Amino acid sequence: MKNLDDLVGVGIEGRKVLVRADLNVPLDGTTITDTGRIVATVPTIRKLTEAGAQVVITAHLGRPKGEPDAKYSLAPAALALGELLGVRVTLAADVVGESAKSAIAGMGNGEVVVLENVRFDPRETSKDEAERQALASDLADLVGPEAAFVSEGFGVVHRAQASVYDVAKLLPAYAGGLVEQEVAVLERLTESPQRPYVVVLGGSKVSDKLAVIESLLPRVDQLLVGGGMCFTFLAAQGKQTGSSLLEKDQVETCKRLLTEAGDKIVLPVDVVCAPEFKADSPATVYAADELPQDQMGLDVGPQTVELFGATIAAAQTIFWNGPMGVFEMPAFAAGTQGVATSIAQSSAYSVVGGGDSAAAVRALDVPEDKFSHISTGGGASLEFLEGKELPGLSVLEA
C-alpha cells in the first residue's frame, strides 16, 4: 500500500485530497461522549494541511436510512475536529450537492471541508454496484482530476461502500497514518505474537464473536470470556444461568468449542447479578454455577477479575475486545474496570480492539497510554483477525 509519506512526497500544495475519515462518534443529543475516533484522525489531517493540501473529508455517523436526518448530522464532529486542529472546519450541508460544490470551490491551501454524512445518500451503502460507483464518481468529480484519495477510516475498511472502496478505484489511493498503523498492529497479532498470547473477549452475544473465536483458538494460549456471551458458554457446561442473556441456538456450538479448546477457554467463576436490567437494581455476587432463576448476570465477579488478572499478568501479548459487563452502570462496571486495569498494568504488548472496549477505557479513566494500541475499528479488527479480506484495504493494494 502507498502511504501518506508517498503522497506528501510527490507534493500536494494546492491539490485537493479526499479523506475517508471515521467520525462515527457516540452522541448524547448533540454532545459527543467519546472523541477518540476524531482524535485519532487529527495527525493525518494535520500532516496534509501543513503540506498545503485542500482537505475534503467524507465520513458517516450512525445509521440514517439513506436520507438526511438532523440527529445524524456531522456538525458536532466537524466542530470538534476544528477545535482539535486549531483551524476553522467548514461543514457542507449536503454530500455532493450545491453546498458541497460551493464549499470546495472556495477552498484555500491548508483548509478543511467536511461533507455532510455520506450515508444521507442511499448510494453509499447500496448493494447495487452501479449505484455505488455513481456516488464514487460524484465524489471524485467534486475534488477534480488532480486530487488524491486517503483512506483513514479503519472502522469501515471491511465495507465495500462507495466512499471506502469504489472511490479508491477512481483516484490515486493512499493509506492514511491511522490505517497503516492499524494494519501493522493486527499483522503483529496474527503473524508473530509473543507468547503467552492471551485474548479477552466480552460483549453481548457469542454469535457476534463466533468467527473470531474459531479463528483465534488454534493460535492463542488462553481465551478469557466475559460479558453477556459467557452465559451461553456456562449453559454449555450445564450450569444454570438464571435470567441472564442466553443464545440457546449457540449452546451446542459452545459445547464443541469447549471440547476443542481443552483448557484454553477460561470462563467466569463468579458473576454480579441483579433482578432487573436497571442501574439501581440491587447487585449480588453469586458463584457462576449458582445463579438463581430470578437473577441476571450483568458483570463478572471479583474472583473472576482476580483469575483473569493472573492470566493477563503472565501474558506477553494481549488482545481485548468487548466489556466484561454493563460498564455504563456503576454497579456493574467493576469487572470491566478490573480487567482493563490488569491489561494496563501488564508489561505485555496490549491491543484494545475498538468499539465498546475503547469507550470503556476512556469512560472508566484507565490511562490510555498504558496500552500499546487502542484500535478505532471493532468490526474491522475482528474481521482482520478472522482472516477475511477487507475490501477497503485490498483496493489500496491494487
Kindly provide the b/e burial profile for residues 170-201, where b requires at least 16 CB atoms within 10 angstroms of the residue's own CB: bbebbbbbbbbbbbebbebbbeebeebbbbbb
Q: What's the pLDDT at 356?
A: 85
Q: What's the pLDDT at 355?
A: 75
Active-site annotation, residues: 37, 205, 355, 379
Number of domains in the chain: 2
Domain end residue (candidates: 144, 176, 208) = 176
Q: Do 248 and 363 lie in a common domain?
A: yes
325 phi, psi to nearest 5 deg: -165, -165
Q: Do 169 and 196 lie in a common domain?
A: no
Establish if 89 belongs to a structural domain.
yes
Q: What's the pLDDT at 379?
A: 86
DSSP 3: B
Q: Do 250 and 145 lie in a common domain?
A: no
Query: Which domain, by its residues, includes 40?
Result: 4-176
Establish if 394 belongs to a structural domain.
no
Q: Do 376 and 269 lie in a common domain?
A: yes
Establish if 56 belongs to a structural domain.
yes
Q: Check whether 22 is labelled as a binding-site residue.
A: yes
Establish if 393 belongs to a structural domain.
no
Q: Check whether 357 is labelled as a binding-site residue.
A: yes
Q: Check whether 62 is labelled as a binding-site residue.
A: yes
Q: Which residues pair with 318 in a beta bridge?
A: 198, 350
Q: Check whether 396 is labelled as a binding-site residue.
A: no
Q: Do 196 and 100 lie in a common domain?
A: no
Query: What length does the chain have?
Result: 398
Q: Do 245 and 351 lie in a common domain?
A: yes
Q: Do 82 and 204 lie in a common domain?
A: no
Q: Do 98 and 190 lie in a common domain?
A: no
Q: Check whether 188 is labelled as a binding-site residue.
A: no
Q: Do 123 and 208 lie in a common domain?
A: no
Tell me which residues of the chain have a pLDDT lower than 50: none
Question: What gap in Å lies between CA 104 and CA 265, rounded to an integer?
Answer: 53
Amino acid at 104: I
Domain end residue (candidates: 138, 155, 176) = 176
Q: Do 257 and 331 lie in a common domain?
A: yes
Question: What gap in Å lies between CA 258 and CA 93, rounded to an integer?
Answer: 52
Burial degree of 257 (CB within 10 A; 0-12, 13-18, 19+): buried
β-strands 222-225, 197-201 pairing: parallel
Q: What is the pTM of this model?
A: 0.90
CATH code for the domain of 51: 3.40.50.1260
Q: Which residues pair with 54 in a beta bridge?
A: 16
Domain end residue (candidates: 150, 176, 202) = 176
Q: Check whether 37 is labelled as a binding-site residue.
A: yes
